[in-house]
Copies of this chain bind each other. A is one copy, B any other.
Amino acid sequence: MAEMDTSSAPSHPLIESDHIEGTAVYAVDGKRIGTIKRLVIEKISGHVVYAVTTFGGFLGLGSETHTIPWELLHYEPTLGGYKTNITEEQLRKAPEFSRGDESLLSGHERKQLVDFYGGYPL
């Protein structure tokens, strides 16, 4: 009962790790383009570094799962989900290792993904 109450409160600033799946992801124009499948967390710091996201809303793109750097997602309380300025072109060109369910990237892959999505520090 407690869990039902909390999961029905999208505006709460906290979320439980077992309730993340299905959180909506929106493009900058407000269109819903995907949902979060899981988060990837640094064990020591407790910081989320990636959101494994299933995209299906871009024109011409079938449903695809991508490991997306957390920095590309911005939470919008009014939407109850995350906005991203990620583009369809970026997803089309994303490195092979960042596709599908291989979300525990190596150090080398982490660097490659930072470079690919714009060079921000992780």
Report whether B44 and A17 are in contact in the complex, using a CB–CB cutoff of 8 Å.
no
Q: Which of B14, B52, B104, B105 contacts A41 (CB 8 A)?
A: B14
**A116 CB–B CB distance under 8 Å:** no
Interface string of A40-62 (1 = CB under 8 A from B): 11111011111010000000000
User: In the assembly, how many copies of this chain are there?
Assistant: 2
- B-chain residues with CB within 8 Å of residue A6 when the two chains form the complex: 102-104
Report whether B14 and A42 are in contact in the complex, using a CB–CB cutoff of 8 Å.
yes
Report whether A40 and B14 are in contact in the complex, using a CB–CB cutoff of 8 Å.
yes
Report whether A17 and B43 are in contact in the complex, using a CB–CB cutoff of 8 Å.
no
**A89 CB–B CB distance under 8 Å:** no
- B-chain residues with CB within 8 Å of residue A12 when the two chains form the complex: 43, 104
**A115 CB–B CB distance under 8 Å:** no
Chain B residue at minimum C-beta to C-beta distance from A12 = B104
**A28 CB–B CB distance under 8 Å:** no
**A64 CB–B CB distance under 8 Å:** no
**A39 CB–B CB distance under 8 Å:** yes
> Would you list 11 pairs from A and B whose C-beta atoms are within 8 A, ordered by A residue?
A12-B43, A13-B43, A14-B49, A14-B105, A16-B41, A17-B17, A17-B39, A18-B21, A20-B41, A39-B46, A44-B75
